Structure 1
Amino acid sequence: MNLLSAKNLSHSFEYELFSDVSLSLDTNESIAIIGMSGSGKSTLLHLLSTLLTPEKGSIELFGKDIASMNKKELTLIKRNKLGIVFQSHYLFKGFSAYENLEVAEILSRKNIDDILIKNLEIKQCMHQKVTELSGGQQQRVSIARVLTKKPSIIFADEPTGNLDNQTAAEVMKLFFQYCEDNDAGMILVTHDNDLAHMCKRVYKLEDKELKLIK
């Protein structure tokens, strides 16, 4: 089943980042986007996840063009079906790790998964303030918060940047297993070629074009 379809996207800030970019994502599919810093990878991910509006082109989520959705409909899709793992964690700093997961639990009406907490190795720090956690622990809490929502699409912007190589590979396997178990899909932005090639498809954003390399 098609989860996302983007056609002929173009976007610029001070200069044109990319133009005429098209991409689709199906259930149980993982896509990696690589490219040099400044090529527009994160911007493209923000467009696909509806955090930004493209200057040109169209994006369909679950078969419906987002341009035809009203604000309430789009908000519900973001809350219930999209999960975004940011390069910066964006955790609630005054809350404990567990309280951050509770927010996701309340908003999505999904239960916190104890197995997920165990697999991410954050059980021992669940009642610590996030400001007391290491960067790697904060990143794993942010991943747990996203997966608690049980999203249909995971958008991940350098999700393993604060993790060692072994933990990064384990987290990637966790993402893949999640997608398989929940008929979900994932779009990953990364500088790590090894992690990128764990995905089913790999694109490179270069010279304003999105090129399929795997």
Structure 2
Amino acid sequence: MTTSLINISDLKFRYDRSDNWLLSIDNWSLLSNEHVFIEGCSGSGKSSFLNIITGLIPIKDGHISILNEEINKQSKIQSDRFRANHFGIIFQMFNLIPYLNVIENIVLACSFSKRKKERVLKKGISLNDEAQRLCRELDIDHSLFSKSINELSIGQQQRVAVARALIGEPEIIIADEPTSALDERRKNQFLELLFTECEKVNSTLVFVSHDQTLKSQFKKVYSLSDSTLKLQSKSNQETEISPCP
């Protein structure tokens, strides 16, 4: 049975020097194994929303439950541990460590999460073996395993970032503008790859972008505007393109 993974209620958020609410979300929920697209113009609050649900930004108003944990009540240490254990994050600029090689970058995610490490070791394989397996799944050539990140192309770095997000089978994958540096062909290839890999490990995918050409590939699309998340109908997904200023 599909269960609710994330529940948000009565969320209000603004930065300290602002008089206006950046986010005002009465109710929003996400089911396990869903793949959702969240669109919005620059400055609409997309990144702030992601930072809130991953616990990077604490909230004063509202309630957020993830995996039945009230994350708005967690201490910073608890929040950091929860994020490391249950989230895999693909950043816009990848945030890979330049002086580490490919395998070291991927395994790094398990260094901060005992839970992820245990999930890998329960398979009867080492962390390095699992990192190499993910590389093969993501078509990262064996010859690149020992190379530093600076020696890789943008596309190769992106695949390493995906592998790092997937290792340890986190329940939630967050993708924050991950295709901004790619051409149209590579964007579509990346999405197909991401969907496939998330399905293999039963991860829920939250994909955030201002690129509306991608949203038709998602069954559920939300628009972040006027401080709130609005579910788009299928007809609107296919016909409406609201230009950003």
Q: Same fold (TM over 0.5)?
A: yes
Is it true that 1:117 corresponds to 2:135 in the alignment?
Answer: yes
The within-5 A match list for 1:1-214 is 1-13=3-15, 14-15=17-18, 16-70=21-75, 73-107=78-112, 108-109=116-117, 110=120, 111=127, 112-123=130-141, 124-214=143-233
Q: Partner of 2:11: helix, strand, or coil?
A: strand
Query: Is the 1:58–1:65 Cα contact (8 Å) retained in structure 2?
Result: yes
Q: CA deviation at 1:28?
A: 1.7
Q: CA deviation at 1:19?
A: 1.3
Question: 1:82-101 deviations in whole A, cap 9, x for unaligned?
Answer: 11111122111111112111
Structure 1 unaligned segments of length 5 or more: list them.
Answer: none
Q: CA deviation at 1:102?
A: 2.4
Distance in 1 (CA, whole Å) between partners of 2:58 and 2:74 is 13
Distance in 1 (CA, whole Å) between partners of 2:183 and 2:110 is 28
Distance in 1 (CA, whole Å) between partners of 2:44 and 2:207 is 15
Distance in 1 (CA, whole Å) between partners of 2:105 and 2:53 is 25
Q: Which moved more, 1:34-43 or 1:177-186?
A: 177-186
Distance in 2 (CA, whole Å) between partners of 1:47 and 1:40 is 10
Structure of larger gyration radius: 2
Question: 1:68-110 deviations in whole A, cap 9, x for unaligned?
Answer: 4455544432222111111122111111112111222444312
Q: Which amino acid in structure 2 is aligned with residue 122 of structure 1? A: I
Q: Which amino acid in structure 2 is aligned with residue 118 of structure 1? A: R
Distance in 2 (CA, whole Å) between partners of 1:45 and 1:21 is 17
User: Whose strand fraction is larger, Structure 1's or Structure 2's?
Assistant: 1
User: What is residue 123 of structure 2 aligned with on the other side?
Assistant: none
Question: 1:103-129 deviations in whole A, cap 9, x for unaligned?
Answer: 224443124254531343322422211
When normalised by structure 1's length, the TM-score is 0.88
Q: Partner of 2:50: helix, strand, or coil?
A: helix
Distance in 2 (CA, whole Å) between partners of 1:46 and 1:150 is 20
When normalised by structure 2's length, the TM-score is 0.78
Structure 1 residues 89 and 192: CA distance shift in structure 2, 3 A: same
Q: CA deviation at 1:52?
A: 1.0
Q: Partner of 2:22: helix, strand, or coil?
A: strand
Q: Partner of 1:51: helix, strand, or coil?
A: coil
Query: Is the 1:29–1:179 Cα contact (8 Å) retained in structure 2?
Result: no
Distance in 2 (CA, whole Å) between partners of 1:62 and 1:148 is 19
Q: CA deviation at 1:11?
A: 1.5
- RMSD over aligned Cα, in angstroms? 2.1
Structure 1 residues 208 and 91: CA distance shift in structure 2, 3 A: same
Question: 1:39-65 deviations in whole A, cap 9, x for unaligned?
Answer: 111111111111111232111011121
Query: Is the 2:58–2:72 Cα contact (8 Å) retained in structure 1?
Result: no
Query: Is the 2:55–2:80 Cα contact (8 Å) retained in structure 1?
Result: no
